[in-house]
Amino acid sequence: MNKVTVQCPGTVANLVCGFDILGMALNAPYDIMEVRLIDEPRVIIISKDGFPLPSDPAQNTAGAPLLEMLEELNGDTGPANRPTHPVGFEVSITKKIKPGSGLGSSAASAAGAVVAANHLLGNIFSKEDLVRFALFGEKVASGVKHADNITPCIYGGVTLIRSIFPLDIVPIAAPALHVTVVHPQIEVRTSDARQILRKQVLLKDAIRQWGNIAGLVAGFMGHDYDLIGRSLEDVIIEPVRSMLIPGFDAIKQCCKEAGALGGGISGSGPSIFMLSRDESTARKVENIMKDIYTRIGLDHHTYVTTINQQGVKVVA
């Protein structure tokens, strides 16, 4: 096999209270990537849908991780079963996850590229290795190696990143949940959304946040919907970032009144997500989101989906 096509899921990072440590993969939206082996040690990037993606692989969120993979393949510490002849990759990307949406667009590119390349190489790298490579794509996108989108995109489901240095990933068995997402058609760059955050927090706020993170993880693992709902609270990041998102407070309040467990900003925004126990509630939440943004006069896209348990998937 010298060519593979993969489906790369969108992701919700932070899950309200877990800034940079919690993430969840979605069944929609997703990108499509085709990766082909070539017989020279370089990376070629092709955009299939007109998005102005950087053609320089070192500046591309899919290309940078592949360059790291090639460096390890060609280095002294590469896997024993690596190819004995020069290899490289040609990557064709069809973006359905809009950059700047807060739905893990850069992570989908980075994770999809390394999963596809690894498949072509005979799966010689572990999932943890793939996360390590893909982090270089997130560094290109935001200037920071954060794994809360990358990890669920590769592992599937809900994941906890206990540590990046060294990498320590904990998959979390979450209950069945329906996810409603609205993406108002404005852009919030991850790098910009990080710059506005406070550098220091009050101890009382940190204690409350730690309790919410622990409660959310316990709620997922215990399939305790009420505990999940009570724990979906952010007293540190959301109060600052929500000011960048029109209609945020109204959407959150009205969706919870309609029966949603809770939710908040997806990643750095501007997308907003809400979790529900069942599809009928998730559809009510979608209608509320649409109504609020229609009244504001802001174009938007919505998704009603579920948790993607597989992560990046080989489709051809």
Cα dist from 309 to 59, 131, 159, 171, whole Å: 30, 17, 11, 10
Instruction: For residue 90, indicate whether it is catalytic.
Output: no
Residue 299's contacts (CB-CB under 8 Å, 6 or more residues apart) are 184, 185, 293
Euclidean distance between CA atoms 92 and 107, whole angstroms: 16
Residue 233's CB is within 10 A of a number of other CB atoms, namely 17
Catalytic residue among 138, 180, 238, 281: 138
71: annotated active-site residue:
no
- Cα distances from 239 to residues 245, 262, 289, in angstroms, run 11, 15, 20
Q: Which of 159, 190, 281, 305 is catalytic?
A: 190
Question: What is the torsional sign of CA 68, 74, 77, 81?
Answer: positive
Q: 85: which 2 tokens?
A: 């002849």
CA 29-33-39 angle, 5° bins: 165
For residues 169 and 162, the answer to whether their CB atoms sit within 8 Å is yes
Question: Which distant-in-sequence residues (6+ apart) come within 8 Å of 111 by Cβ?
Answer: 8, 130, 134, 137, 150, 153, 154, 311, 312
41: cis peptide before it, omega within 30°?
A: no
**Which residues carry out catalysis?**
138, 190
